[in-house]
């Protein structure tokens, strides 16, 4: 085998470079150590030795050290004798949370909100407006009109049930019975006797007086009566706008404009008719006077 003439010199040259690099690295480490430590190798006063333990701070005279306690949070539902948990409070709390969760449904189904929101929806459909007024605006209008109509009943509930309960004069169950009485009277005024008899027959209950009707019979009867009344009012709202659609469709047919959609032409006339007769005032007046308050 023929050996390359430069192979021995190249190996010697590489070893020399590696030795020089090690010597330079050792010199740099020595310089850094001497810069941190003094000439005798001790650490100066302005430097902190990371290995040496830190001495505790001496307490100041006249001030006592307060032990730091961990933060904690505790909820108690009540306790009886011998530290036992009172389950009655827990059950009442569970019933309260359940009532708050179904509260919006009770407001919509046991007040005037049901009839008002259905009639407003019929008006928007009869005029041919799909998104105006929007759903949020219709619900807001129905909510505020319901608040206006139900305010006297709310005042009775507050005076007869909430105030005595806060004063500690009655229990929660009695306050619930007192609060349901004004609301039941309102629903019975809007409910047809035939609907009440229908649900009494379904539940197989014996005939009772109006004052003794349970709330489980009054609420569905009220809902059925409200749906019927709301659809009757919606039909009456549809009639004038339906006449406008017939007239426009007939005129377009006689002019030979069969490809023109009648809805596009009748929409401005329906809006004009609604504005000229002051439709919003008539609608709100009909809704308010339709309830037997």
Mean pLDDT of the chain: 76
Which DSSP category does 85 fall into? Answer: B
For residue 206, what pLDDT is reported?
Answer: 78
Which of the two residues, 82 and 140, has the higher pLDDT score?
140
**Interval 203-212 mean pLDDT:** 79
Which token pair is 43? 């650490």
For residue 106, what pLDDT is reported?
Answer: 77
**Interval 197-207 mean pLDDT:** 84
pLDDT tens, position by position, 252-262: 888 887 777 87
In the chain, what are the domain boundaries?
104-289
pLDDT at residue 178 tops 70? yes
Q: Whole-model pTM?
A: 0.64
């Amino acid at each position: 085998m023929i050996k390359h003439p430069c192979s021995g010199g190249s190996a010697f040259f590489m070893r020399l470079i590696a030795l020089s690099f090690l010597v330079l690295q050792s010199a740099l480490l020595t310089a850094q150590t001497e810069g941190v430590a003094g000439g005798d190798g001790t650490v100066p006063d302005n430097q902190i030795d990371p290995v040496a333990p830190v001495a505790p701070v001496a307490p100041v005279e006249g001030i006592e050290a307060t032990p730091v306690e961990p933060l904690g949070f505790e909820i108690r539902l009540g306790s009886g004798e011998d530290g036992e948990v009172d389950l009655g409070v827990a059950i009442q709390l569970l019933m309260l949370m359940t009532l708050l969760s179904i509260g919006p449904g009770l407001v919509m189904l046991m007040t005037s909100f049901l009839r008002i929101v259905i009639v407003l929806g019929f008006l928007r459909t009869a005029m041919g407006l799909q998104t105006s007024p929007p759903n949020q605006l219709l619900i807001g209008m129905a909510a505020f009109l319901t608040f206006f109509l139900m305010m006297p009943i709310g005042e009775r509930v507050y005076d007869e049930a909430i105030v005595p309960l806060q004063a500690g004069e009655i229990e929660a169950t009695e306050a619930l019975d007192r609060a349901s009485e004004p609301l039941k009277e309102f629903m019975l005024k809007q409910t047809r006797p035939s609907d009440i008899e229908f649900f009494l027959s379904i539940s197989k209950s014996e005939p009772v007086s109006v004052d003794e009707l349970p709330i489980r019979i009054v609420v569905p009867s009220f809902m059925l009566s409200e749906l019927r009344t709301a659809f009757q009012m919606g039909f009456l709202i549809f009639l004038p706008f339906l006449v406008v659609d017939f007239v426009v469709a007939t005129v377009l047919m006689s002019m030979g404009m069969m490809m023109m959609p009648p809805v596009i032409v009748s929409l401005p006339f329906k809006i004009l008719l609604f504005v000229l007769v002051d439709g919003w005032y008539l609608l709100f007046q009909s809704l308010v006077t339709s309830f037997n308050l």
